[in-house]
């Protein structure tokens, strides 16, 4: 006997059974079949498509008749037309050339679909591996840049968190001793009205000047206060007087040179005569200057 045309495990697996109406109408079996036999022919092909292996029938007449819903006697009367073209293979089942052709086409399409799906999965896996490899190379480059380790010696995959930790640790270790990696200095203390009063400044002067500095967003630090006292000494005034002048003129600070024009003006005014603006004529010898 001839071997089966395909494996015994072949199933339709939901694959549609499509009828070629033109081919059926032109077939000899369809032409020879009586009108009442034609529906049985189509039903027989539908039953065969759902069998395992797909497109085959059991060789026993009783089973075929039962599948068609016929009694054995009626099946025997129509058997010659219904089983026309079917042949028995070595596995004890019947196969039809047209159905065999459809099953082989189905198997080919299934194999093509499986290959495309496998290729798609492989591309995704390759892309995922390439992405991981690129990420690892970038990570290794970052670690190498900061740690001085060559790419050849970097063999362990490092996560993002580990990379950040490694980079931070490496940078900190490369900083010489005595240099703080974090600025731990406390902000400079600002002086208040009570601090200025303790320095000999009148309360009103202190309050006015600190109000001016607050408007200019310039808190008074110890260094700024020391500068003011030094400039007051240069100008020959007390710190209290310097604070008063700065508050009156809305100065944020105080410089001796800012006060010089005012002092010069004060000095020149003090040298002027006190008895009118044209004094001293009584001491002048008008006889020497000629007649008036």
Mean pLDDT for the stretch of residues 204-229: 94
Does residue 287 surpass a pLDDT of 80? Answer: no
Quote the CA–CA distance of 95 and 29 in Å, as a whole number. Answer: 15
Sorted by sequence, the CB contacts under 8 Å of residue 241 that are 6+ apart come out as: 232
84, 29 in Cβ contact below 8 A? yes
Which residue's structure tokens are 């005034």? Answer: 237
Residue 142 confidence (pLDDT): 54
pTM of the prediction? 0.42
Quote the CA–CA distance of 226 and 23 in Å, as a whole number. Answer: 111
Quote the CA–CA distance of 200 and 194 in Å, as a whole number. Answer: 10
What the block records as the tokens of 172 is 């900190």
Report, in this order, helix, strand and coil percent for the chain, each rounded to 5. Answer: 60, 5, 35
Beta bridge partners of 190: 221
Rg of the chain (C-alpha set): 56
Higher pLDDT, 148 or 33: 33
| DSSP state for residue 91 in the 8-state scheme | T
| DSSP state for residue 153 in the 8-state scheme | G
Lowest-confidence region among 34-48, 58-72, 135-149, 198-212: 135-149
Higher pLDDT, 161 or 134: 134
pLDDT-based confidence at 148, cuts 50/70/90?
low
Lowest-confidence region among 22-31, 67-76, 124-133, 168-177: 168-177
DSSP H helices in the chain:
21-26, 28-32, 38-49, 61-68, 72-82, 97-147, 160-174, 193-198, 203-215, 222-235, 239-248, 256-270
Strands of 114-182 (E only): list them.
none
Beta bridge partners of 96: none
Domain boundaries, the chain: 21-95, 106-171, 193-270
Residue 283 confidence (pLDDT): 52
Tens of pLDDT, residues 45-76: 999 999 999 999 999 999 999 999 999 999 99
Residue 29 confidence (pLDDT): 94
pLDDT-based confidence at 292, cuts 50/70/90?
very low
pLDDT-based confidence at 130, cuts 50/70/90?
confident
Does residue 238 surpass a pLDDT of 80? Answer: yes
Residue 284 confidence (pLDDT): 52
Residue 15 confidence (pLDDT): 86
């Amino acid at each position: 006997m001839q071997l089966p045309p395909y494996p015994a495990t072949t199933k339709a697996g939901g694959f549609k059974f499509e009828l070629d109406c033109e081919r059926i109408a032109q077939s000899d079996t369809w032409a020879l079949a009586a009108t009442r036999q034609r529906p049985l022919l189509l039903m027989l092909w539908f039953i065969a498509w759902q069998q395992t292996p797909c497109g085959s029938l059991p060789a026993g007449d009783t089973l075929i008749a039962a599948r068609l819903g016929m009694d054995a006697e009626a099946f025997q009367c129509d058997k010659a037309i219904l089983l026309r073209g079917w042949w028995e293979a070595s596995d004890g089942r019947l196969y039809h050339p047209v159905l065999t052709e459809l099953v082989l086409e189905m198997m080919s399409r299934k194999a093509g679909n499986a290959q495309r799906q496998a290729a798609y999965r492989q591309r995704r896996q390759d892309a995922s591996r390439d992405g991981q490899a690129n990420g690892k190379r970038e990570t290794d480059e970052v670690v190498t840049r900061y740690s001085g380790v060559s790419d050849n010696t970097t063999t362990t995959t490092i996560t993002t968190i580990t990379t950040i930790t490694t980079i931070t640790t490496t940078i900190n270790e490369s900083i010489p001793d005595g240099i703080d990696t974090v600025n731990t200095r406390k902000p400079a203390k600002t002086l208040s009205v009570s601090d200025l009063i303790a320095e000999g400044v009148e309360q009103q002067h202190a309050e006015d000047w600190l109000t001016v500095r607050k408007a200019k967003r310039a808190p008074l630090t110890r260094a700024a206060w020391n500068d003011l006292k030094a400039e007051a000494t240069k100008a020959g005034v007390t710190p209290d007087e310097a604070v008063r002048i700065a508050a009156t003129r809305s100065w944020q600070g105080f410089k001796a040179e800012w006060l010089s024009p005012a002092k010069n003006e004060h000095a020149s005014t003090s040298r002027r005569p006190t008895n009118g603006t044209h004094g001293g004529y009584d001491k002048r010898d008008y006889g020497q200057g000629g007649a008036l």
